[in-house]
A and B are shown apart, each in its own frame.
Chain A
Amino acid sequence: MKQLLRKVFLADLIEGLRVTFRHQHPKQIVTEQYPQERPKIGERYRGAPRLNINPDNGETLCIACDLCALACPENLIVVGWERNPETKKKELVTFTYDISRCMFCGLCEDACPVDALELTQDFEMASYTREGAILDRQTLENGLLPTRYRF
């Protein structure tokens, strides 16, 4: 009998609708208004790469050991270096990082012995050209510039 009454009065459907309406309350709205409202990014987020420089003297921290390039499964890091004739040390000349092939796995970051290469919280890496996704040393050190949109 109870079952029948439930059926006749559409109790099951009304129960469902009650849940729906309960969620109409403004406090329940969770949608993030993305471009206006910046999302909170986790501290460990693996986003755009950065090549850290020593803040005191502006020199790169990278010791051109090539470990990141070896650790990368996609082989997308190219470290160019040259031996300094006076100090006999390797010095970094160029560094290219192709984010179009990168899967942000973090292996390069883990491999770096001096924490020079770091994946940052920057997640906006769109560009209009394929070449724009290949980052050179300067971009890596200064950080990505915000994309200029062609509206």
Chain B
Amino acid sequence: MADTFLDSTELVLNMGPQHPSTHGVLRVILKLDGERVLGTECVIGYLHRGVEKIAENRTWQMFAPYVDRMDYVAAVSNGLGYCLAVEKLLGVEAPPRAQAVRVILTELNRIASHLLWLGTHALDIGAITPLFYCMREREYVLNIYEKYCGARLTTHAFRIGGLQYETYEGFEKECLEFCDLFEKKIDEYEELLTGNRIWQQRLTGVGILTAEDCKEYGVTGPMLRAAGVKWDIRKAQPYSGYEKYDFEIPVRENGDTYDRYIVRMQEMRQSVRIVRQAVADIPAGPILAKVGKVIKPPVGEAYVSIEAPKGELGYYVVSDGSTQPYRVRIRPPSFVNLQALDKMCRGALVADVVAIIGTTDIVLGEVDR
């Protein structure tokens, strides 16, 4: 190395798997030259449970609760993707009422997921206050889930063909109340962080990922949009009736950590907008399409991808005509986004690694599956 003319040697440092800012059990091997990162390597698999293999030993319905346990902070989105994939295989579509409720719950889930990201990301950088506020607002969403389906985190809210549970009394009112309250709270978070000089200095220009890099690595979600690519599956290939709702895709140009922060904040505002529209117009009617008690999709395969809070979440399901999946392949956004970590970290400072891991918004349950 040219700049190691003083007597300094390269140092290999282990970060994790118990490091709190790796958001779970991610081990990153850092190669350092002083404070500079020369390269990183991720060691994953500490949370591997073989979810895809489990699918092959369960019936189609039985596997639905397991997908909640991949990205456990966005369990509802995971469930939606799986249900849509199996529905495509079966050739059925959820009734309009089910679709509207699904949209409401997944958008609330996007808010909850982004809130957790915001809280922990800010905590990693050193701003402790937002974490408490984010958790407090997330609680409202979780309470709606608890009242709707009976669980807070691993919800198992959707069933193949629609919904299992009818909305409870006061569901619409509570969602609207949350929207009203939450819009003010986003302003509050922005007051705390957006203009804060420490926050800006820690984030601007850190972990830059250009649009080309993103496409090369297959990075999706807010990270891609922060690099200036207007790509959102909700708009590009609308599912579950997203074409009916009016919302924008927030985009920024620089692709650095600060821009990703802005994009996610904007996304929460857009989610509130979608929830409002969806709540105002929940059609009446059945909530479960006719799929029968035993689900036996015809021989074939289907791929469905949805816009999960973290990026494109894809399910590739293959049926051999029996009651059990022949194969379920999952394309988790966190896993793919994590591959860009090395690219973002090279040349950065050690302290920035924490910011970069935070901004990729990974959930290790989903990375390892």
Task: List CB contacts (< 8 Å) of A87-134 with chain B.
Answer: 103-107, 110, 119
B66 on interface, CB distance cutoff 8 Å = yes
Hey, which chain B residues are within 8 Å of A16, CB to CB? Answer: 129, 191-193, 196
Q: Is the CB of A19 within 8 A of B150?
A: no
CB distance from A114 to the nearest CB of B (A): 16
Hey, which chain B residues are within 8 Å of A44, CB to CB? Answer: 146-150, 165, 168
A37 on interface, CB distance cutoff 8 Å = no
Hey, which chain B residues are within 8 Å of A42, CB to CB? Answer: 143, 146-147, 150
Which of the candidate stretches B56-64, B215-223, B326-334 sits at the interface with the other chain? B56-64
B240 on interface, CB distance cutoff 8 Å = no
A20 on interface, CB distance cutoff 8 Å = yes
Q: Which residue of A lies closest to B148 (CB)?
A: A44
Per-residue CB contact flags for chain B residues 130-167 toward chain A (1 = under 8 Å, else 0) read 00010010010001001111110010100000001100
CB distance from B276 to the nearest CB of A (A): 23
A71 on interface, CB distance cutoff 8 Å = yes
Hey, which chain B residues are within 8 Å of A1, CB to CB? Answer: none
Q: Is the CB of B62 within 8 A of A73?
A: yes
A43 on interface, CB distance cutoff 8 Å = yes
Q: Is the CB of B168 within 8 A of A20?
A: no
Q: Is the CB of A105 within 8 A of B195?
A: no
Number of A interface residues at 8 Å Cβ cutoff, please give it. Answer: 26
Q: Is the CB of B133 within 8 A of A23?
A: yes
Per-residue CB contact flags for chain A residues 45-79 toward chain B (1 = under 8 Å, else 0) read 11000000000000000000000000111000000
A105–B158 CA distance with the chains assembled, in angstroms: 11
Hey, which chain B residues are within 8 Å of A107, CB to CB? Answer: 61-62, 65, 156
Q: Is the CB of A46 within 8 A of B150?
A: yes
CB distance from B143 to the nearest CB of A (A): 7
Q: Is the CB of B146 within 8 A of A45?
A: yes
A15 on interface, CB distance cutoff 8 Å = yes
Task: List CB contacts (< 8 Å) of B112-138 with chain A.
Answer: 129, 133, 136
Q: Which among B156, B165, B196 is the interface contact of A13 at CB below 8 angstroms?
A: B196
A7 on interface, CB distance cutoff 8 Å = yes
A41–B149 CA distance with the chains assembled, in angstroms: 12
A12 on interface, CB distance cutoff 8 Å = yes
Hey, which chain B residues are within 8 Å of A5, CB to CB? Answer: none
B188 on interface, CB distance cutoff 8 Å = yes
A30 on interface, CB distance cutoff 8 Å = yes
Hey, which chain B residues are within 8 Å of A20, CB to CB? Answer: 129, 192
A13-B196, A42-B147, A44-B149 as given contacts; A73 in contact with B65, CB under 8 Å: yes
CB distance from A47 to the nearest CB of B (A): 8
Q: Which residue of A lies closest to B63 (CB)?
A: A73
A109–B234 CA distance with the chains assembled, in angstroms: 34
A73-B66, A110-B164 as given contacts; A46 in contact with B196, CB under 8 Å: no
CB distance from A89 to the nearest CB of B (A): 23
A12–B198 CA distance with the chains assembled, in angstroms: 10
A19–B188 CA distance with the chains assembled, in angstroms: 7
List 8 A–B pairs whose Cβ atoms lie within 8 Å, in order of A's numbering: A12-B196, A16-B129, A19-B191, A42-B147, A44-B146, A46-B151, A71-B61, A106-B149
Chain B residues with a Cβ under 8 A of chain A? 58, 61-66, 69, 129, 133, 136, 139, 143, 146-151, 154, 156, 164-165, 168, 188, 191-193, 195-197
Given contacts A44-B168, A107-B65, 12 further A-B contacts (CB under 8 A): A12-B196, A19-B129, A42-B143, A42-B146, A44-B165, A46-B150, A46-B151, A73-B66, A105-B64, A106-B164, A107-B61, A107-B62
Which A-B residue pairs are the 8 nearest by beta carbons?
A: A105-B65, A73-B62, A44-B150, A42-B146, A46-B150, A42-B147, A12-B195, A16-B192
